[in-house]
């Protein structure tokens, strides 16, 4: 049986923290679907096409990782593709309540998959897409936070004139 996991997120943009979780998930499952999803609480800075291109560039070498876009409910998608897990990274206690709520809601909507939390690597504890966007918008150095091949795309898009 092929064990499929879904890594959902806004990925606006993808960071080294996301990449670390995707890489580790790809070692645990036969196939990982990185799923660009809509977070109703956020207005994205990058289009889904831009986010997809960035994820494609940084996951290029991972044989069992594919990318998809969702404009609907995560639980429905997970059920439709026969995934057994939703994999998310957990950074700090501050993430917990929100992630716990989503995990419980998703389990209620579709009991066939478990949400699995991977503890973020220590160096990515403080890292988030919003932090990256703030630094980039003021012309700061984002090289410690996002994969090199997407630096330019992010800078060109966000640096204030």
Contact 6, 87 (CB under 8 A): yes
Q: Which stretch binds ligand PNS (CB under 6 A): 3-11, 24-32, 51-59, 152-160?
A: 3-11
CA angle 105, 79, 59 (to 5 degrees): 95
Instruction: Write the burial class of residue 129 (CB in 10 Å: 0-12 exposed, 13-18 middle, 19+ buried).
Output: buried
Residue 13 binds to ligand PNS (criterion: CB under 6 A): no
Cβ proximity to ligand PNS: between 38 and 131 the closer is: 38
Question: Given 23, 24, 91, 155, which residue is catalytic?
Answer: 91
42 is catalytic: yes
60 is catalytic: no
Residue 10 binds to ligand PNS (criterion: CB under 6 A): yes
Residues with catalytic roles = 18, 42, 91, 129
């Amino acid at each position: 049986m092929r064990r499929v996991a879904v890594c959902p997120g806004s990925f606006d943009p993808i960071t080294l923290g996301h990449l670390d979780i995707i890489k580790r998930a790809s070692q645990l499952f036969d196939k990982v679907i990185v799923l660009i999803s809509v977070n109703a609480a956020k207005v994205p800075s990058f289009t889904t096409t831009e986010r997809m291109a960035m994820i494609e560039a940084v996951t290029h070498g991972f044989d069992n990782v594919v990318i998809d876009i969702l404009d609907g409910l995560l639980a429905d998608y997970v059920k439709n593709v026969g995934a057994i897990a939703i994999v998310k990274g957990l950074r700090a206690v501050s993430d917990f309540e929100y992630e716990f709520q989503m995990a419980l809601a998703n389990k209620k909507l579709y009991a066939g998959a478990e949400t699995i939390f991977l503890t973020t690597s220590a160096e990515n504890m403080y890292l988030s897409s919003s932090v990256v966007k703030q630094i980039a918008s003021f012309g700061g150095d984002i090289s410690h936070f996002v994969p090199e091949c997407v630096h330019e795309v992010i800078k060109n898009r966000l640096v204030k004139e």
